[in-house]
Amino acid sequence: MEGQGHLAGFPGGHLRAGTQATREFAVQLLREIGSGERLTLAMSTENQVTNENLLALTAILENLELPLTPEAIDRIAHSAACFREVGGLREGR
Q: What is the pLDDT of residues 35-63, one digit of tens each?
A: 888 888 787 666 677 788 888 888 888 88
Domain span including residue 59: 5-83
Note whether residue 40 is domain-resident. Answer: yes
Render pLDDT for 14-25 as a digit per residue (tens, 0 to 9): 677 788 888 888
Note whether residue 90 is domain-resident. Answer: no
What percentage of the chain reaches a pLDDT higher than 90?
8
Note whether residue 88 is domain-resident. Answer: no
The domain tally of the chain equals 1
Cα–Cα dist 57/34, whole Å: 18
Note whether residue 35 is domain-resident. Answer: yes
Note whether residue 72 is domain-resident. Answer: yes
Q: What is the pTM of this model?
A: 0.73
Residue 33 has pLDDT above 60, yes or no: yes
What is the per-residue pLDDT for 90? Answer: 47
